[in-house]
Structure 1
Amino acid sequence: MKATFSIVLSILFLTSCQSFLDVKPKESISDAVTITDKTSAETAVRGVYSALASGNYYGTNFQAIGYLSGDNVEWTGSQSIVQEFINHKVNADNGMVSGVWIAIYQTINRANNVLAKVNDVADPALTTALKNQYLGEAYFVRALAYFDLARVWGGVPLITKPTVTPADNRGIARSSTAETYAQVLKDLDAAESLLPATTDRYRATQKTVWALKARYYLYQKDWVKAEEYASKLIGDATNYTLLKPYRNFFADNARGTQESIFEIFYNGTTEINAHRGQWQPQTNGGTRQWAPNTALVTLLNDASVGGNRSVLVAKDNQNRWYGNLYYRNPGSDPSYVLRIAEQYLIRSEARTQQNKLTAALSDLNAVRDRAGLPAVTAATSEAVLLAIENERRVEFALEPHRWFDLVRTGRAATVLGVTDPKRYVLPLPVDQLLVDKALVQNEGY
């Protein structure tokens, strides 16, 4: 799990974090190198975000697990490892599974490096406020990483110290799923206490923590807390709002809009978001190796369901449908991690579970109104929950939510026909099992 700090993020427009991210690529720095001053501390934190952006994490493959495993996407290529996700018969030697596992732990390792070393730096330029910010950012990214690991694999080894040599941190047994989620909350609490309550769409702040906490509590079925934290973002209408029409948060090279709570920046040169290559057709320089399936195309083009979200799909010169969320050439599309629309739907679901149906419908209908759709008038909790499920399917059609939503709500069997609960998590990569005998495979694999 050895990783390197690669300084490759670059921001090309004015934001509050421009000076931090607007740097030229430099020679990689080993994780083993001590953080000695403000400059090297900044380098290390940039490395954390760079790992988060990698092709095997939010750059493509982790997100692909979330939507390929659902019912919105079809595989048009020939690689069986991708079809395994669609068929829900993933093998332990699947290369994507291995790549995602390694990428997430590399991200954790970079965060651990910051957490282990920044506090000890004695550079007057690295003020207490900056130290707290850097530490808070590392805690947030580590929380996100463990949250994603838990969603994909269940309980995993909890590594909280830097890995410098291949033998470091080997032999750590898997924690339970509950313990893994407990680590997520512990890191989010630490991040919340350290970060400023500012608005930044590319770096973690208290507000970013609140958004992930809302999602965390939704997964934990803590409806009161989920509503509380989603309300913090929704109440900040000056900085976060649903843009009309739907296309405005991503089309015409938009980035960093008021729709976005946290997105990952790619400059299209030194760091490329490979998503567009998978979605776009050959005429646009892509491979269209995965595409919206017939069911999703029908939903998005149904004016009573998709509304103005039909912009997510388009036809190529061979009359084939393709996904159009990622379209910038050669690959400067952001990866959308947290959006305000999700907070509305989190709060709607949490309120429904508390039998606050009028308030729940208000949140659901805010998202529908943005999409140009009439209000839902469901009268029972069951009907509202189904409406929310259906809304999430089209609102996040090409984002990594559908599979995880159906698993967390216990609906995967009914909707997808995946009746074996052992298939609700993926197998640990076989290459990890071979090098670390402390790891135990998920049951059923």
Structure 2
Amino acid sequence: MKFNFKKYRIGYLLLVLTAINSSCKKYLDEKNNSNFVQSTYFESASQAQAFVNGIYNKLYMFQNGDAYGESPFITIELFAGHATSLGQSVNNGNVINERTDPVNPGFETVWQNSYSAIANANLAIAKIPGIAMDDAVKKKLLGEAYFLRAFFYYHLVRLYGDVPLITAPVTVDSPDLFPTRTPLAQVYPLIISDLQAAEISGLPETDQTGHASLGAVRTLLSSVYLTTAGFPLNITANYALAAAEAQKVLPDYTLFTDYAYLHDNAHKNQGELIFQGSYLVGVSTNAIPQLTVPFNLPVGAYGDHLGAMIPTNQFFNSYEAGDKRTQERQFYFSSYPQYGDATKTVVFGEHCLYKYFHVESALGTGISDENWTFLRLPEAMLIYAEASNEVSGPTPDAYTQVNKIRARALLAPLSGLTKDQFREAIWKERYHELAYEDKAYFDIQRTHMIYDVVNNKFSDAFSTANEQGVVMKQQYLLWPVPQREINNNKKLTQNTGW
């Protein structure tokens, strides 16, 4: 499947807003309400529900892919330097080798879809208060809109730095029709205030339908605080806030007993899965498994086997001896029964991501409705451990959280570490537990350190070569503003080095 760029051409999509009908409990029904008119649409609770549900569908853009193995969730991961791309993509290769440019289509996909989601969230926040409806439902819908606006701005500000901050619906007469970039120090307060508003909006503690919950709000807010405690803002007081928010999440979720539950259909939006992009065959599907299976080898019923994101051998070898996550068909796999003839075994010659192997589609029609996980319990546990360590050094509670993750991986518990040693142990656990979940690049941004997997230590990001021999350029801490956006809006400036 190819990216359809034509539907994303109009500026920031701040004027052309599409409401997507959905049931009251799920956002998977993508039926298009093409007769949407702002002045007459926000008149009932059902319209408000349908409109908010439609915002969730913009989450799909992270998993959009094409026949060359390009997809934003892969682009984000390739910036971290621990994956190769064996498919046909010139753009993926350019990212890995740090020679890409502002016309890379993935940069445009994320920018424009994020602003489209933000535009719809702004409209929901402006219009829903005026609808006559149950107050509790109204508050919940507004809470979801605030969460989603914060979610997309959080991605924008980390990926592009200073970005236009737009918080109200835009018309042809609006000064925000062609906005300037807002300093990131002014964007983060909006993200935080939106999440604080969502936290008191009456959202449920957990949610199994793919909608926002208090768990999702608090986990995202703890991540925001952790990020702002590091580079470039260095608001160290936010470590305590990160720990406090993450701690609220811990009682409401449980670690899976089987790693396979992270990527099967039966456990979607359950257990340790706090917030996912939800898919369903017949409604919305994705190419996650096709993109992450080995290149051109018959390991499932897929039309394409793209090999677009393959872990480096050095990263795989950086796990501790005996780590269950490295056992065959846990987080990784190196062979699989041949599709169409299970008596034969296909040997890959590398370790691929079983974490994203979707058995249901591989053994079925090849059509994947695997959910993509944005937030899960181990991230909240590790945020709590890292942030609390920065406040007061290793505490028994911090050890408890990281050691639960290690126990599941059949590793010995951590103990007796200094503050500096514990910090690096948590960073390493983030890399190994949250591997290839689009966390590593953002960790590099906030710490300015990379995981030197060959020497099993953390080193300066701008003077240490990764396992592919690439030393990170400072310009690669941010993505470039898409060239098309600069061409369309002369008030936009480009990031340094691009």
Structure 1 alignment gaps of length 5 or more: 10-17
Matching residue's letter, 2:245? Y
Using a 3 Å threshold, how does the CA distance of structure 1 residues 260 and 165 change in structure 2: closer, same or farther?
A: farther
Classify the secondary structure of the residue corresponding to 2:374.
strand
- Pick from 155, 168, 174 the counterpart of residue 161 of structure 1: 168
Q: 1:177 aligned to 2:187?
A: no
CA offset digits 1:129-169 (Å, max 9, x no partner): 11111111000000011111111011100111234669883
CA offset digits 1:220-251 (Å, max 9, x no partner): 221111111111011x2xx3012224333334
- Pick from 34, 40, 51 the counterpart of residue 29 of structure 1: 34
Match of 2:408 in 1: 370
Matching residue's letter, 2:369? S
Number of aligned residues: 431
Using a 3 Å threshold, how does the CA distance of structure 1 residues 225 and 96 change in structure 2: closer, same or farther?
A: same
Distance 1:415 1:369 in 2: 32
Using a 3 Å threshold, how does the CA distance of structure 1 residues 41 and 405 change in structure 2: closer, same or farther?
A: same
Distance 2:486 2:352 in 1: 37
RMSD: 2.7
Distance 1:166 1:418 in 2: 46
Matches within 5 A, 1:295-314: 295-299=314-318, 302-304=321-323, 306=325, 311-314=330-333
Match of 2:135 in 1: 128
Distance 2:264 2:417 in 1: 36
Using a 3 Å threshold, how does the CA distance of structure 1 residues 58 and 129 change in structure 2: closer, same or farther?
A: farther
- Pick from 97, 114, 126 the counterpart of residue 107 of structure 2: 97
Match of 1:224 in 2: 240
Using a 3 Å threshold, how does the CA distance of structure 1 residues 139 and 100 change in structure 2: closer, same or farther?
A: same
Match of 1:80 in 2: 90
Q: 1:210 aligned to 2:218?
A: yes
Distance 2:407 2:110 in 1: 36
Q: 1:260 aligned to 2:273?
A: yes
Using a 3 Å threshold, how does the CA distance of structure 1 residues 252 and 169 change in structure 2: closer, same or farther?
A: closer
Distance 1:96 1:274 in 2: 15
Match of 2:77 in 1: 67
- Asked if the contact 1:74–1:291 (Cα under 8 Å) also holds between the matched residues in 2, the reply is yes
Classify the secondary structure of the residue corresponding to 2:275.
strand
Match of 1:52 in 2: 59
Tell which deviates more after alignment, 341-350 or 295-304: 295-304
Distance 2:417 2:354 in 1: 35
TM-score, with normalisation over the residues of structure 1? 0.89
Using a 3 Å threshold, how does the CA distance of structure 1 residues 276 and 300 change in structure 2: closer, same or farther?
A: farther
CA offset digits 1:387-437 (Å, max 9, x no partner): 111111111112000111122112041474645323201110000000011
Distance 2:465 2:420 in 1: 15
- Asked if the contact 1:240–1:259 (Cα under 8 Å) also holds between the matched residues in 2, the reply is yes
Classify the secondary structure of the residue corresponding to 1:376.
coil
- Asked if the contact 2:170–2:177 (Cα under 8 Å) also holds between the matched residues in 1, the reply is no
- Asked if the contact 1:8–1:271 (Cα under 8 Å) also holds between the matched residues in 2, the reply is no
- Asked if the contact 2:390–2:419 (Cα under 8 Å) also holds between the matched residues in 1, the reply is yes
Using a 3 Å threshold, how does the CA distance of structure 1 residues 32 and 293 change in structure 2: closer, same or farther?
A: farther
Matches within 5 A, 1:112-123: 112-122=122-132
Match of 1:347 in 2: 384
Distance 2:219 2:472 in 1: 31
CA offset digits 1:47-78 (Å, max 9, x no partner): 11111233567998342233111133111123
Using a 3 Å threshold, how does the CA distance of structure 1 residues 251 and 373 change in structure 2: closer, same or farther?
A: farther
Match of 2:486 in 1: 433
Match of 1:15 in 2: none
- Asked if the contact 2:157–2:163 (Cα under 8 Å) also holds between the matched residues in 1, the reply is yes
CA offset digits 1:288-328 (Å, max 9, x no partner): 22222212333459424846586122234242432222233
- Pick from 301, 312, 315 the counterpart of residue 293 of structure 1: 312
- Asked if the contact 2:293–2:352 (Cα under 8 Å) also holds between the matched residues in 1, the reply is yes
- Pick from 249, 260, 283 the counterpart of residue 233 of structure 1: 249
Match of 1:319 in 2: 348
Tell which deviates more after alignment, 373-382 or 432-441: 373-382
Classify the secondary structure of the residue corresponding to 1:350.
helix
Tell which deviates more after alignment, 311-320 or 41-50: 311-320
CA offset digits 1:230-286 (Å, max 9, x no partner): 11011x2xx301222433333474312210111121003221132222112442213
Using a 3 Å threshold, how does the CA distance of structure 1 residues 127 and 434 change in structure 2: closer, same or farther?
A: same
* Percentage of matched positions with identical amino acids: 25
Classify the secondary structure of the residue corresponding to 1:325.
helix
TM-score, with normalisation over the residues of structure 2? 0.80
Using a 3 Å threshold, how does the CA distance of structure 1 residues 116 and 325 change in structure 2: closer, same or farther?
A: same
Using a 3 Å threshold, how does the CA distance of structure 1 residues 264 and 327 change in structure 2: closer, same or farther?
A: same
